């Protein structure tokens, strides 16, 4: 379950170890120091999620399907990036998409307009996708072998980073309109990324952001991360993104296992 906001399951046990401890009005426990009164959250759900993620990863690997987990704050341009990527790569590789949002089918319909198979997952009050949701989405999506599956996670720079889906790689999308400090404010998200896409670089002349500083902040929290500046609108930098998708061959860490018939455990 989510160690930040407490969402994710009704069987979560929250225990306070000091009487009279005042919680934040929003119900969250703030701070991370192991002192009396700090709320401890049961981690069994994360362990279950990791088990399901391993099963998903094995199922995908058996079919040579590369699944990429796209994460960002709302409005970074994930869906627009996917639409352009599909248009530019559709003749080269089969592509399918799983869309994650709290409500509506808006983004799924935008993807459907490209001709790519798409499944919408609505999480309600949930602020991230998890491995079980991906497994259920794969059952509905039925992606082709040797294909590329994009998983567009719920817009959120915190919780999605905590949940392994069984993906081959994590892609964080950040736009220059969000400022250059996002990697420093949300370090865990950027620290787990395999690649950071910096979108909307066509707007750099109009915002108070230095691209070199934003890239340096990404590498300050993740020294080995690939950083790809681009503009979905103009196409600048898209070639490097396409090259990464086609030549990096992310596969994830697949444990030894027997062939898997279904992504659902």
**CB distance 82 to 111 below 8 Å:** yes
Tokens 């627009």 correspond to: 80
User: Each residue of 91-129: pLDDT tens digit?
Assistant: 999 999 999 999 999 999 999 999 999 999 998 888 999
Tokens for 190? 């950027």
Query: Each residue of 217-254: pLDDT tens digit?
Result: 999 999 999 999 999 999 999 999 999 999 875 554 44
Q: Give percent of the chain above pLDDT 90.
A: 72
Helix spans in 72-160 (H): 78-89, 106-112, 131-141
Residues 6+ apart with CB under 8 A from 30: 24
Domain ranges (residues) in the chain = 65-247
Give the separation between CA 252 and CA 236, rounded to whole angstroms: 28
Element (H, E) at 15: strand 14-15
| Prediction pTM value | 0.81
3-state secondary structure of 205: helix
Could you tell me if 16 and 39 are in contact, meaning their C-beta atoms sit under 8 angstroms apart? yes
Domain 65-247 matching CATH 3.50.50.60: the answer reads: no
Q: Report residue 177 as tokens.
A: 């309109």
């Amino acid at each position: 379950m989510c160690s930040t906001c407490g969402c994710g399951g009704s069987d979560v046990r929250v225990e306070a170890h000091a009487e009279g401890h005042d919680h934040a009005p929003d119900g969250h426990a703030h701070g991370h120091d192991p002192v009396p009164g700090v709320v401890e959250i049961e981690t069994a759900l994360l362990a279950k999620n990791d088990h399901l993620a391993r099963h998903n990863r094995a199922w995908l690997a058996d079919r040579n399907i590369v699944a990429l987990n796209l994460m960002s704050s709302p409005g970074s341009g994930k869906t627009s990036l996917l639409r352009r990527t599909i248009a530019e790569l559709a003749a080269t590789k089969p592509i399918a998409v799983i869309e994650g949002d709290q409500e509506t089918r808006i983004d799924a319909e935008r993807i459907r307009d490209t001709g790519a198979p798409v499944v919408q997952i609505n999480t309600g009050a949930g602020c991230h996708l998890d491995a079980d949701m991906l497994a259920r989405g794969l059952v509905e999506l039925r992606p082709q072998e040797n294909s590329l599956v994009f998983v567009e996670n719920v817009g959120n720079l915190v919780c999605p980073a905590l949940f392994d889906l069984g993906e081959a790689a994590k892609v964080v999308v950040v736009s220059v309109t969000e400022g250059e400090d996002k990697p420093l404010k949300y370090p865990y998200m950027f620290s787990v990324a395999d690649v950071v896409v910096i979108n909307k670089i066509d707007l750099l002349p109009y915002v108070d952001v230095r691209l070199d500083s934003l890239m340096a902040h990404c590498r300050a929290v993740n020294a080995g991360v690939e950083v790809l500046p681009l503009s979905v609108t103009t196409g600048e930098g898209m070639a490097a993104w396409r090259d990464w998708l086609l030549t990096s061959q992310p596969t994830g860490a697949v444990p030894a296992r027997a062939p898997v018939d279904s992504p659902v455990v």
